[in-house]
């Protein structure tokens, strides 16, 4: 059975004091409020150990924002799957649109990272999605199809069930364009149908697919009510406990 998930990607934000404060606020919120979803955070790598020490009972999942496609070696600045395993991290975001845009990451890179993560018992959050140009030219379904197949379809059925997918409509991030819940649902259903065609409906129905667009407190409930949307990968709204909590509450009936 797939999980409801709200995951906060902090990106390159927060100094150590502010990061610790937000971690405590999330922990207090979790202790005092019933949630109908799992709560995950992806702080800057500098704070991963601090998060793991705080969330020692696994109240909150702790993810890195990226990891290396290499097992070890002379790769300055990189973090390996083994390193994440050694601190008992929950997993890693892989293939975020900003990693693709600024660091030239491809779906082949993502495929190698996903395999390494799974080998170490980590949960990969694999991100995909089309650009504004691809959306306007009607290529969005084919683009997401190709991304999904290259990054994921070398996995076994048992392996792919352990992957979480995050659909990011890159065309709706910082462009002034807005993705409707129905547009998000269309792509989520498309991804699930692709997986079902390859691995079977039972496997596809076990995979959580998150929406990585602009989820806000005022639209979370409507977005999460779509049948194939299992939660969100949240950016800016994850940096304030008031906003993050309201998004989590989008799963409350």
Least confident piece of the model among 35-39, 63-67, 211-215: 211-215
pLDDT bracket for residue 154 (50, 70, 90): very high
Is 174 annotated to bind ligand?
yes
Per-residue pLDDT averaged across 227-246, rounded? 96
Contact present, 194 and 188 (Cβ < 8 Å): no
**Of the listed 69, 98, 130, 168, which one is catalytic?**
168
Domain with residue 34: its CATH number is: 3.20.20.70
Environment class of residue 65 by beta-carbon count within 10 Å: exposed (0-12), middle (13-18) or buried (19+)? buried
Which residue range is the domain that position 25 belongs to? 5-251
- The reply to whether 96 belongs to the active site is yes
88 part of the active site: no
Quote the pTM value.
0.96
Q: How confident is the model at residue 248 (pLDDT cuts 50, 70, 90)?
A: very high
* Lookup: tokens for 124: 């990969």
pLDDT at 177 over 80: no
Contacts of 39 (CB under 8 A, 6+ apart): 5, 6, 7, 26, 30, 59, 60, 61, 248
C-alpha to C-alpha distance for 36 and 50, rounded to whole angstroms:
25
Long-range contacts of 69-73 (CB under 8 A, 24+ apart): 69/109, 69/112, 69/113, 69/116, 71/116
Whether residue 230 is predicted with pLDDT greater than 70 in this model: the reply is yes
Backbone φ and ψ of 252, nearest 5°: -80, 135
CA pair distance 79, 41, nearest whole angstrom: 17
Question: According to the annotation, is 73 in a ligand binding site?
Answer: no
Confidence at 29, pLDDT banded by 50, 70, 90: very high
**Per the annotation, does 40 bind a ligand?**
no
Average pLDDT, the chain: 95
- Active-site entry in 96, 109, 140, 188: 96
Report the domain count for the chain.
Answer: 1
- 231 annotated ligand-binding residue: no
């Amino acid at each position: 059975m797939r999980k409801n998930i709200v995951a906060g990607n902090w990106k390159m934000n927060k100094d150590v004091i502010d990061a610790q404060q937000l971690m405590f606020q999330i922990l207090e919120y979790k202790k005092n409020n019933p949630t109908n979803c799992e709560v995950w955070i992806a702080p800057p790598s500098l704070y991963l150990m601090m998060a793991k020490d705080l969330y020692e009972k696994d109240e909150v999942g702790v993810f890195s924002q990226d990891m290396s496609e290499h097992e070890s070696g002379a790769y300055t600045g990189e973090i390996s799957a083994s390193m994440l395993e050694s601190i008992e991290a929950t997993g890693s975001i892989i293939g975020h649109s900003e990693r693709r845009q600024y660091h030239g990451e491809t779906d082949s890179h993502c495929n190698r990272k996903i395999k390494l993560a799974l080998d170490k018992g980590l949960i990969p959050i694999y991100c995909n999605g089309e650009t504004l140009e691809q959306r306007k030219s009607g290529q969005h379904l084919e683009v997401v199809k190709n991304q999904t197949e290259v990054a994921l379809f070398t996995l076994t059925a048992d392996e792919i069930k352990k992957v979480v997918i995050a659909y990011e409509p890159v065309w709706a991030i910082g462009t002034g364009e807005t993705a409707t819940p129905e547009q998000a649902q269309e792509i989520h259903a498309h991804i699930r149908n692709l997986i079902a065609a390859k691995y079977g409906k039972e496997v596809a129905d076990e995979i959580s697919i998150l929406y990585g667009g602009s989820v806000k407190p005022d639209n979370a409930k409507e977005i999460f009510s779509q049948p194939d949307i299992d939660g969100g990968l949240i950016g800016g709204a994850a940096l304030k406990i008031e906003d993050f909590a309201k998004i989590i509450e989008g799963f409350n009936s």
